[in-house]
Amino acid sequence: MATHFDLLIRGGTCMLPWGAAETDVGVRDGRIAAIGPAGSATATAEIVATGLHVLPGLIDPHVHLRDPGDASIESIPTGTKAAVLGGLTAVFDMPNTSPSIVNAETLAWKQGYAAREAWCDMGLYVGGTKTNIPDLASLEVAAGVCAVKVFAGSSTGDLMVEDDEHLERIMRAGQRRIAYHSEDEYRLQARKPNYKSGDPYRFHMEWRDEECAFLGTRRLMALARRTGRPAHILHVSTWQELDYLRDYRDIATVEVLVNHLTQFAPDVYDTLKGFGVMNPPIRGREHYEAAWAAIANGTVDTIGSDHAPHPKAAKLKPWPDCPAGLTGVQTLVPVMLDHVNAGRLSLARMVDLMAAGPARIYGALNKGRIVAGYDADFTLVDLKKQRRITNDWIVTPAGWTPFDGMQVTGWPVGTIIRGQQVMRDDEVLGTPTGKLVAFR
């Protein structure tokens, strides 16, 4: 009797942990059941992937889905729909949403909402604050929680933890890796009076300068070494930090953003104005080149979008009245595929940074690799397909992208989550079936 699968992907070039291979993949009960020539095997559904690359399901480990504070900006339904259109099978959502995810009650609400409305799988960060330290050890092991997130700079209200005393107390409350926004809040506030409304947009990177980021990272590394608590430094943006963190690989891992790999100052502020304002800032070309060097030498562990949409009208305001934050979850994969085609990194390194890397750093179970027994999550890409990214392709209600007009080579043409195809050729299929990611 011929072998039967729920789904059979035939003839694609599969990016396996040990290298690329043109082969078939069989799926049964949402898991990868077989890798190799399928021969006469049958399947309930079949995808002919000849000419395509079959990647393990790609993950954006850094998004802000702001629902339900203002659904005209973003929501789990629209944000995760954007993710699957962009070829992502999972996203990890930050806690500075409305309400902030800082206790069992707000976490339970978010868990339920994600289970009902998400198009892709989701991980959830819990915010570490000055007031919830006694609860963090239990919150960090709750269902779907990928990590504790600490804003050591650039946040508001409860989520700001700027002083060493509370940072150390948070580090001693629990065991899992903590993800940090690393900017020194004291330096930010001391420099703020030097600037006024209507100053050039490029002043954003002068106010939040290299020392602001580097000082924050140095402080966090000293505390991490003292407590032995692993750290993941998010959106590293300076050559100084990237060079420094190479000596802390025993305790720290590193994320860079697609924007810091694609755009640089002053060009980004001259052309995009408020639509190029984010935290930490997009900086000069020397930092852009350092980020690519860190990709090449292995310093960087993950790449994210820091998807943080704001209404177009708000981004049109003068600096510093315009909010910081850019859309990015839908464009992350096409932009990175374009970098692959430009020769800046290999497809294997992209997969390491966007699938295996996030799974490894956050302890996601059965994600990030094409191996038997893992979740049948796949991103199908056409490396030769040329497209222009445009605002009218963006499904986030904000309706804009900082990459509007960018011509790219390489495009996601299929998204498969646990054996179900949820996107095919720019069309979202079926109904939301996302689940919470399981973490170690």
67 catalytic per annotation:
no
Which one from 306, 338, 375, 382 is the annotated catalytic residue?
306
The two three-digit tokens of residue 180, written as one number: 């940090």
DSSP 231-247: EEE-S---HHHHHHHGG
319 DSSP β-pair partners? 199
E-state strands within 208-360: 231-233, 252-257, 302-304
386 DSSP β-pair partners? 409
415 DSSP β-pair partners? 379, 423
C-alpha dihedral sign at 365, 366, 369, 371: positive
Determine the residue type at 219.
Answer: R
Q: Which residue has the tokens 């290999």?
A: 346
How far is CA 298 from each of CA 241, 292, 301, 336, rounded to the nearest angstrom?
A: 14, 10, 7, 17
The two three-digit tokens of residue 116, written as one number: 């009902």
Helix, strand, coil share (%) of the chain residues, nearest 5: 30, 30, 40
DSSP 61-128: EEE---TTS-TTT--HHHHHHHHHHTTEEEEEE-S-SSS---SHHHHHHHHHHHHHH-SSEEEEEEE-
- Specify burial of residue 112 (Cβ count, 10 A radius: 0-12, 13-18, 19+): exposed
Alpha carbons 223 and 241: distance in angstroms, whole number = 16
C-alpha dihedral sign at 38, 433, 255, 358: negative
The two three-digit tokens of residue 340, written as one number: 């692959």
Catalytic residues: 306
